[in-house]
Amino acid sequence: MKIMLPSQSPMMSKDFVFGVATASFQIEGGADQRLPCIWDTFCATPGKIRDGSDGKQACEHYNLWQQDVELIESLGVDAYRLSISWPRVINQDGSLNEQGVNFYIQLLDALNDKGIKPFVTLYHWDLPQHIEDKGGWLNRETAYLFQDYADKISQALGKRVHSYATFNEPFCSAYLGYEVGIHAPGLAKVQYGRQAAHHILLAHGLAMQVLQKNSPQSLNGIVLNFTPCYPATDSQADIDATKLADEYMNQWYIKPLFDGAYPDSFALLGEDAPRIETGDFDIIRQPLDYLGINFYTRAVYTATAQGSYQQIDMADKPKTDIGWEIYPQAFTDLLTSLHALYPLPPIYITENGAAMADKLDADIVNDQDRIDYYQAHLLAVNAAIEQGVTVAGYFAWSLMDNFEWAEGYLKRFGIVYVDYQTQQRTIKNSGLAYRDLINSRNG
């Protein structure tokens, strides 16, 4: 029933930041009050979303935000991680949309009034469709449009933001969106994926420059996701293949930030290599106030006859409702290995959580499986801290059930249950356990 950490753990000090996280497209709805984005278009394309749903209503947070702030407060968290919808705050001509900006100003003011620190992500995948129509992340110009958006919105929000993230998970936008096509905008070509990644990293560097100028008092950084890679056997072929996979899926997005270069396997890309201009890595490699890390699961690889890698299904292993293996040791391994590889700033775990097959029964969701997941993963973070990694905060994904991208509303990640018919929110037992953990911290 409970989530517990050793009482001497730094995570049990009040300085450690506990929060909950969401993203604009996944919860807001209010789609008629903003410009269309690539996820609106993707949802309208038959066969792309498993339940044929879209983000037009979602959790109706655009209208229900006041009660949602009260819900967040009732969980006792120190911080709330949200994202700003670019198509809500910037008009097609590049000017600020006052109505959209006011929505976020009211929300941020309400959070600050309650002492809840706002962690604001500028890009959680909802690219304005009119920008995609001009090539989206394949067009270098988009990086400069993003810088302009970051500049305008950070000036408009003033001192209301505790922390900015430029991007959430460049891997997902670039690889899932432009390389394999299972996310918006649904393009599928290796060169596209690598080019989109490069332009997103460039946009990150450009935006960091304006954030440090406009909002020097906030913690400014980026959020990356990692799926640590393990070899299926200890054969040299599997070990080599796994290293390639790790470079391609994980290191690709972090190495440029700290080392100003892509991994060595860049040389294997040939004609699929992205176009890079002189000076790009100097822009990308900006000092970071923090690094956000999202972790859910690991991946196990075997070598193929062609010298490449193939992920294998861990059929006999415990999994969440979305089919991801539950393997908390990978969380500790990830944090300690990144710490060994790069000169990391303080780390915030910006997402961690589990989709489970929840049942609402007499106003109770008894999600012991999710409680077990959080318990094991918080201990895994604590183990990394004990091994010398600086972790300053942890955010549960997610505050509430929401639109889970290509899975539509079929997968529930919330620590709060949402009835999409009535928009009734019910705190799950995991939410109560998370609240109790936070409240049990030392003075």
Question: What is the nearest approach in angstroms of ligand GCO to the Cβ of residue 397?
Answer: 5
Question: What is the nearest approach in angstroms of ligand GCO to the Cβ of residue 23?
Answer: 5
Binding ligand GCO by CB under 6 A: which of 168, 227, 320, 352? 168
Q: Name the helix (H) or strand (E) containing 222.
A: strand 219-226
397 binds ligand GCO (CB under 6 A): yes
28 binds ligand GCO (CB under 6 A): no
Question: What is the nearest approach in angstroms of ligand GCO to the Cβ of residue 62?
Answer: 17
8 Å CB contact between 229 and 250: yes
Three-state SS at 134: coil
Stretch that binds ligand GCO, among 90-98, 106-114, 167-175, 180-188 (CB under 6 A): 167-175
Q: Which two tokens stand for residue 1?
A: 């029933």
Question: Mask: binding to ligand GCO, 189-228, rule CB under 6 A, as x and -?
Answer: ------------------------------------x---
Of the candidates 118, 120, 69, 162, which has an alpha carbon nearest to the alpha carbon of residue 416? Answer: 69
Q: Going by DSSP bridges, is the β-strand pair 416-419/309-312 parallel, antiparallel, or unpaired?
A: unpaired
Binding ligand GCO by CB under 6 A: which of 40, 78, 169, 246? 169
Say whether 407 is catalytic: no
* Residues contacting residue 365 through CB under 8 Å, at least 6 positions apart: 358, 359, 417, 426, 428, 429, 430
8 Å CB contact between 122 and 164: yes
Which residues sit opposite 425 in a β-bridge? 418
Question: Mask: binding to ligand GCO, 327-366, rule CB under 6 A, as x and -?
Answer: ------------------------x---------------
Output phi, psi for 78, to 5 deg. Answer: -85, -25
Closest to ligand GCO by CB, 5 or 381 = 381
Residue type, position 11, single letter: M
Could you give the CA distance from residue 31 to residue 13 in angstroms, rounded to a whole number?
40
Of the candidates 215, 61, 38, which has an alpha carbon nearest to the alpha carbon of residue 136? Answer: 38
Could you give the CA distance from residue 266 to residue 261 in angstroms, rounded to a whole number?
9
Could you give the CA distance from residue 245 to residue 403 in angstroms, rounded to a whole number?
29
Question: What is the nearest approach in angstroms of ligand GCO to the Cβ of residue 9?
Answer: 25
Q: Among the options 28, 179, 247, 351, which is catalytic? A: 351
Closest to ligand GCO by CB, 152 or 377 = 377
Closest to ligand GCO by CB, 294 or 375 = 294
166 binds ligand GCO (CB under 6 A): no
Q: Exposed, middle or buried: residue 26 (CB in 10 Å: 0-12, 13-18, 19+)?
A: buried
413 binds ligand GCO (CB under 6 A): yes
Binding ligand GCO by CB under 6 A: which of 11, 17, 23, 338? 23
Residues 95-154 close enough to bind ligand GCO by CB under 6 A = none
Question: What is the nearest approach in angstroms of ligand GCO to the Cβ of residue 21?
Answer: 8
Could you give the CA distance from residue 34 to residue 412 in angstroms, rounded to a whole number?
26
Please report, for the chain, how many H helices and E strands are present, in that order. Answer: 15, 13
Stretch that binds ligand GCO, among 168-176, 179-187, 361-369, 420-428 (CB under 6 A): 168-176
54 binds ligand GCO (CB under 6 A): no
Could you give the CA distance from residue 340 to residue 179 in angstroms, rounded to a whole number?
30
Question: What is the nearest approach in angstroms of ligand GCO to the Cβ of residue 5?
Answer: 23
CA-to-CA dists, residue 47 to 52, 388, 403, angstroms: 7, 46, 16
* Residues contacting residue 36 through CB under 8 Å, at least 6 positions apart: 87, 128, 129, 130
Stretch that binds ligand GCO, among 165-173, 229-237, 261-269, 340-348 (CB under 6 A): 165-173
Question: What is the nearest approach in angstroms of ligand GCO to the Cβ of residue 121?
Answer: 9
Closest to ligand GCO by CB, 166 or 225 = 225
What are the helix (H) ranges across 296-367? Answer: 329-341
Closest to ligand GCO by CB, 10 or 186 = 186
Q: Among the options 132, 169, 179, 404, which is catalytic? A: 169
Could you give the CA distance from residue 375 to residue 4 in angstroms, rounded to a whole number?
7
Question: What is the nearest approach in angstroms of ligand GCO to the Cβ of residue 350?
Answer: 8
294 binds ligand GCO (CB under 6 A): yes
Say whether 404 is catalytic: no
Closest to ligand GCO by CB, 303 or 418 = 418
Stretch that binds ligand GCO, among 166-174, 187-195, 260-268, 300-308 (CB under 6 A): 166-174
Q: Going by DSSP bridges, is the β-strand pair 309-312/347-351 parallel, antiparallel, or unpaired?
A: unpaired
8 Å CB contact between 227 and 299: yes
Three-state SS at 314: coil
Q: How many residues bind ligand GCO (CB under 6 A)?
A: 11
So which residues are the catalytic ones?
A: 169, 351
The contact set with ligand GCO (CB under 6 A) reads 23, 26, 168-169, 172, 225, 294, 351, 397, 404, 413
